[in-house]
């Protein structure tokens, strides 16, 4: 069943738990949304396309991530179209459990996204060490040409599907389609630049003068004087890659992480523009506004909208997500409508949408 509820722009498809009861019916409705001749959302991908399905890996099974059954559904029906799908993620900006491909693949398996569960491989888009990236140019929100830094393998695929369970985020408002495009797909260097306005600084009280930072620096920006107990970083040479911060395990070199939402969002939009320039129209987005357990319990009207939203337009999708949750998904200090307008102005999508209910 299909019902158009508003009508001014990009289509955002909704599989609402209010109308679709139980996990099997949710999966069936989503499958028809992807494959039925009336929708055929997967038709934007061609035979033999290499398509990454971007997910966010957590540390073991968690209700904060999507149910692996949904990833499996996308993989299954993409393969039927002759597409080569694979699950993918990127490493974090700094030392954490998502530090390299090995740790991320292990976490994917523990979280239920192993090949035997979902029927597809899991790969990292930023290489084995999490540092593989490239630079490209875009015209920023002011029309100025600026450099952005993205994960390397975004250049080597033909399309992408983004599966996200949005959560509040102090910089982006919430982690939906736009944040995934503009922040998650930034390289480690790009992520560092989004969260820190300044380059790394030395804290001499925590430095052991081991010289690891000097040896690891790829551009020779660091000098260590063991005799006079002094370390200096030449910020004119430093490329802000963050390697020195990672090898300084006791905090001898660190970032201030002094970015504010406006600064972060500017870089996020610029990165998203670069991703769109590379992948074009071969992108599909799904926001899962529910926990896995919500599919097995009675729907409570007081809890607000629960279900899945799908669209080819990341701006319309995130705007619908914001509207349907009454803004409760977002930090109150973030001006989301201003962010949506900026994304629309930069050609990432439309703030106007047609909301279409799909239930079978």
Residue that has been written with the tokens 């001014």 in this structure: 8
CA distance linking residue 342 with residue 336, whole number of Å:
10
* 87-116 residue pLDDT tens: 999 998 765 556 788 989 999 999 999 999
Instruction: Say how far apart CA 46 and CA 64 lie, in whole Å.
Output: 32
Rounded average pLDDT over 336-343? 95
Side-chain-facing half-sphere of 30: CA atoms under 13 Å: 28
For 203-253, write each residue's pLDDT tens digit: 989 998 899 999 999 999 999 988 888 899 999 999 988 889 988 888 899
Kindly state the helix (H) or strand (E) to which residue 188 belongs, with its residue range: helix 188-195
Distances (CA, A) of 9 to 12, 14, 178, 318: 9, 15, 18, 14
Nearest to 271 by CA among 160, 86, 141: 141
Which pLDDT does position 96 carry in this prediction?
55
**2-56: pLDDT as tens digits:** 444 555 689 999 999 988 888 999 999 999 999 988 888 999 999 999 999 999 9
Structure tokens belonging to residue 149:
């830094």
The two three-digit tokens of residue 57, written as one number: 């890996």
Domains of the chain: 2-193+259-358 (3.40.50.11440), 199-254 (3.30.70.20)
Residue 255 contacts residue 245 (beta carbons within 8 Å):
yes
């Amino acid at each position: 069943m299909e019902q158009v509820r508003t009508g001014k722009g990009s289509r955002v498809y909704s599989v609402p738990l209010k109308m679709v009861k139980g996990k099997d019916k949710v999966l069936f409705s989503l499958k028809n949304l992807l494959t039925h001749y009336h929708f055929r959302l997967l038709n934007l991908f061609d035979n033999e396309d290499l398509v990454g399905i971007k997910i966010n890996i957590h540390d073991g099974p968690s209700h904060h991530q999507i149910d692996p059954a949904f990833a499996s559904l996308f993989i299954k029906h993409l393969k039927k179209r002759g597409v080569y799908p694979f699950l993918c993620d990127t490493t974090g900006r700094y030392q954490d459990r998502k530090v390299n491909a090995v740790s991320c693949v292990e976490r994917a398996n523990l979280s239920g996204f192993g090949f035997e569960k979902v029927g597809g491989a899991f790969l990292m888009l930023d290489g084995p060490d999490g540092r593989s990236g490239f630079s490209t140019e875009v015209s920023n929100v002011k029309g100025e040409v600026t450099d952005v830094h993205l994960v390397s393998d975004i250049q080597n695929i033909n399309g992408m599907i983004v599966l996200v369970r949005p959560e509040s985020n102090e910089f982006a408002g919430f982690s939906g389609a736009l944040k995934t495009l503009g922040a998650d797909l930034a390289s480690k260097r790009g992520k560092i630049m989004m969260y820190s306005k300044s380059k790394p600084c030395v804290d001499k009280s925590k430095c052991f003068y081991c010289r690891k930072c000097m040896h690891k620096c790829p551009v020779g920006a660091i000098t260590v004087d063991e005799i006079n107990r002094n370390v200096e970083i030449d910020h004119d040479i430093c490329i802000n890659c963050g390697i020195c911060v990672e090898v300084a395990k006791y905090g001898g070199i660190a970032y201030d992480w002094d970015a504010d939402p406006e600064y972060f969002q500017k870089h996020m939009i610029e990165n998203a523009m670069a991703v769109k320039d590379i992948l074009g129209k071969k992108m599909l987005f799904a926001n899962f506004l529910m926990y896995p357990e919500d599919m097995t319990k009675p729907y409570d009207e007081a809890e607000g909208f629960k279900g899945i939203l799908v669209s080819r337009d990341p701006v319309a999708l995130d705007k619908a997500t914001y509207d349907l949750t009454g803004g409760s998904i977002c930090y109150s200090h973030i001006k989301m409508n201003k962010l949506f307008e900026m994304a629309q102005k930069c050609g990432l999508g439309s703030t106007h949408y047609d909301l279409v209910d799909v239930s079978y």
